[in-house]
């Protein structure tokens, strides 16, 4: 019965011997291909410069800058501005880049190739209280020719520095211009509010809240004057009655003492009034009553006076004339006092109306004052910001704010950055035996050959009693010696090639031997 046969070490050795030529050829081919690839890949040179992000020279506590964005953000913005199609196309035409390609490239493909060839790497440092902060960045360009790489790198560095100054100056100018425009708008608005406030105060000048106490005092003074005028008016009226009595007495030839009081001074002195008073008294008393008889005598005296004065050419006594003059003066004074009283009443009405109007005026005034104060505060705030923006603009123009400083100019590259030929050759040394072994294993898996006695027994399912070994002919032996010599020569050649590669691509052999001996010494 057939069973699964497990190959022994001798079987593996037999396979290696059988495919020795294939192993050697595969190893040599793979190693040769790796060496050829390492030698034929065109070198890529990189020229790079370092730009330092220098902080503001003047203390931010004294002068604050307008551009407060992070350095890496500004670097990225500048990179996008520099790597525009217009800039890159100008550099490509100036240095005739990508002209040596195997196939002609379109403008878009050239721009994409150049963008891939530009490298921007940030240099960060840990700052206490701020974490990782970008302090510098490296700008490089890769090309097959070191001279072109160096020229283009210098061109890019110049563009970065110029674009940074341009961007910061434009931003500062735009900020200043914007704040100036806003300040002008607020100034116009503030002037309009001031005009409205002045017109409102002028229209309601008599009812302004700040004059309320003055109006109250004036109202109190007017009321006091009214009381005084009213008192004077009553006194003048009493004086007029007394003067009329004097006129009546003088006309009747009766002397009345100045300042007389009593019923004669208090009762009406004209004829109509006396008759009315007489009628009233008769309704209360009889004709024998003293008051009735006194009024009756006065009526008779006045009627006799009028009879005497009514005659043509009757002379008027001096006392009557004086009494009549005093009556006229009293009447004039009473009229003046009455006019003063009316004037004071008008003033009182006006003051009361103004006092009642003051709360409404105050509400309107408070609204206008609030709007005016808010506009004034905004205007002052914008003016302060405008002044700060102008100072920041001066900092940018004088290059005193945060700036980019070229720390290291791009130098002419001495060695290519790609490809790493040592790694390619070392990879060839690793892939050569692996590839050769994989090829032999594939052939053995596809082969149906039976190797050895044990393999034959596992195939037929029976035990092999006798095995006749392979008998080599003289020709086969000669061929084996020949192949052995070829293998030795091939090994020597491979070793020689390896030593040459080590000498030229890794390290000179004398230096390698010296270092090796130094480690064991």
Neighbours of 387 (CB within 10 A): 13
Nearest to 175 by CA among 399, 398, 396: 396
pLDDT of the residue at 150: 92
pTM comes to 0.51
* Structural domain count of the chain: 1
Q: What is the DSSP letter of 467?
A: -
Mean pLDDT of 421-431: 80
**Percent of the chain at pLDDT exceeding 90:** 3
383 falls within a domain: no
Distance between CA atoms of residues 482 and 116, nearest Å:
55
Distance between CA atoms of residues 220 and 214, nearest Å:
10
Mean pLDDT of 349-371: 84
276 falls within a domain: yes
The answer to whether 114 touches 93, Cβ cutoff 8 Å, is no
pLDDT of the residue at 456: 65
Distance between CA atoms of residues 464 and 278, nearest Å:
188
Is the model more confident about 26 or about 321?
26
Strand 118-127 with 45-54, pairing: unpaired
Lowest mean pLDDT among 4-8, 249-253, 363-367, 410-414: 4-8
Q: How far apart are the first and last CA of the chain?
A: 63
pLDDT of the residue at 337: 83
Confidence of residue 267 (pLDDT cuts 50, 70, 90): very low
pLDDT of the residue at 464: 67
Distance between CA atoms of residues 421 and 418, nearest Å:
8
Mean pLDDT of 349-355: 83
pLDDT of the residue at 69: 60
299 falls within a domain: yes
Is the model more confident about 518 or about 80?
80
Strand 131-143 with 403-408, pairing: unpaired
Mean pLDDT of 299-315: 54
Mean pLDDT of 440-456: 71
Note down the domain range covering 300.
210-378
476 falls within a domain: no
pLDDT of the residue at 437: 82
Distance between CA atoms of residues 415 and 434, nearest Å:
32
Cα–Cα distances in Å, from 180 out to 97, 190, 235, 394?
Answer: 47, 15, 74, 15
- Per-residue tokens: 457: 């027994």
Confidence of residue 269 (pLDDT cuts 50, 70, 90): low
140 falls within a domain: no
- Per-residue tokens: 196: 């409205």
Q: What is the CA radius of gyration of the chain?
A: 65
387 falls within a domain: no
Mean pLDDT of 415-433: 80
Is the link from the previous residue into 192 a cis peptide, with omega within 30 of 0? no
- Residues with Cβ within 8 Å of residue 159, at least 6 apart in sequence: 82, 87
Mean pLDDT of 174-179: 84
Q: In degrees, to the nearest 5, what angle opens at C-alpha 259 toward C-alphas 255 and 263?
A: 75
The position carrying tokens 């079987």 is 11
* Averaged pLDDT score across all residues of the chain: 77
Q: For 131, phi and psi rounded to 5 degrees?
A: 75, -150
């Amino acid at each position: 019965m057939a069973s699964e046969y497990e190959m022994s070490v001798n079987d593996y050795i037999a396979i290696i011997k059988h495919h020795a030529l294939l192993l050697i050829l595969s190893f040599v081919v793979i190693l040769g291909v790796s060496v050829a690839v390492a030698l034929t890949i065109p070198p890529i040179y990189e020229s790079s410069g370092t730009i330092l992000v220098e902080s503001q020279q003047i203390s931010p506590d004294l002068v604050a800058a307008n551009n407060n964005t992070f350095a890496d953000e500004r670097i990225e913005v500048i990179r996008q501005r520099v790597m525009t199609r217009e800039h890159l196309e100008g550099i490509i035409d100036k240095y005739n880049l990508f002209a040596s390609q195997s196939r002609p490239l379109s403008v878009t493909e050239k721009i994409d190739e150049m963008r891939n060839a530009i490298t921007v790497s940030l240099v960060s440092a840990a700052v206490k209280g701020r974490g990782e902060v970008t302090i510098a960045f490296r700008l490089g360009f890769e090309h097959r020719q070191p001279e072109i790489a160096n020229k283009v790198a210098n061109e890019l560095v110049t563009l970065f520095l110029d674009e940074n100054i341009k961007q910061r100056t434009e931003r500062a100018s735009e900020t200043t211009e914007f704040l100036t425009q806003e300040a002008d708008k607020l100034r116009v608005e503030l002037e309009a509010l001031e005009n409205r406030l002045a017109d409102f105060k002028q229209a309601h000048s008599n009812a302004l809240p700040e004059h309320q106490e003055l109006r109250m005092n004036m109202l109190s003074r007017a009321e006091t004057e009214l009381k005084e005028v009213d008192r004077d008016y009553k006194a003048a009226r009493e004086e007029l009655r007394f003067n009329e009595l004097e006129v009546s007495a003088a006309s009747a030839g009766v002397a009345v003492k100045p300042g007389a009081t009593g019923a004669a001074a208090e009762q009406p002195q004209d004829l109509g009034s006396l008759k009315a008073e007489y009628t009233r008294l008769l309704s209360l008393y009889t004709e024998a009553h003293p008051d009735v008889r006194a009024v009756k005598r006065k009526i008779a005296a006045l009627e006799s006076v009028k009879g005497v004065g009514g005659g043509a050419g009757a002379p008027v006594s001096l006392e009557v004339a004086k009494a009549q003059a005093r009556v006229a003066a009293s009447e004039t004074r009473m009229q003046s006092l009455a006019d003063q009283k009316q004037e004071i009443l008008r003033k009182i009405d006006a003051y009361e109306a103004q006092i009642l109007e003051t709360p409404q005026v105050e509400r309107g005034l408070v609204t206008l004052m609030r709007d005016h104060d808010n506009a004034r505060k905004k205007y002052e705030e914008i003016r302060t910001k405008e002044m700060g923006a102008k100072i920041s603009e001066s900092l940018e123009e004088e290059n005193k704010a945060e700036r980019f400083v070229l720390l290291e100019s791009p130098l002419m590259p001495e060695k290519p950055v790609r490809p790493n030929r040592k790694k390619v050759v070392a990879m060839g040394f690793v892939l050569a035996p692996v590839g050769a072994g994989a090829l032999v294993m594939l052939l053995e898996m596809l082969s149906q050959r039976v190797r050895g006695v044990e393999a034959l027994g596992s195939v037929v399912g029976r035990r092999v009693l006798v095995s006749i070994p392979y008998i080599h002919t003289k020709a086969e032996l000669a061929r084996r010696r020949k192949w052995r010599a070829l293998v030795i020569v091939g090994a020597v050649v491979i070793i020689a090639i390896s030593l040459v590669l080590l000498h030229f691509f890794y390290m000179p052999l004398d230096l390698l031997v010296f270092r090796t001996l130094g480690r064991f010494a």
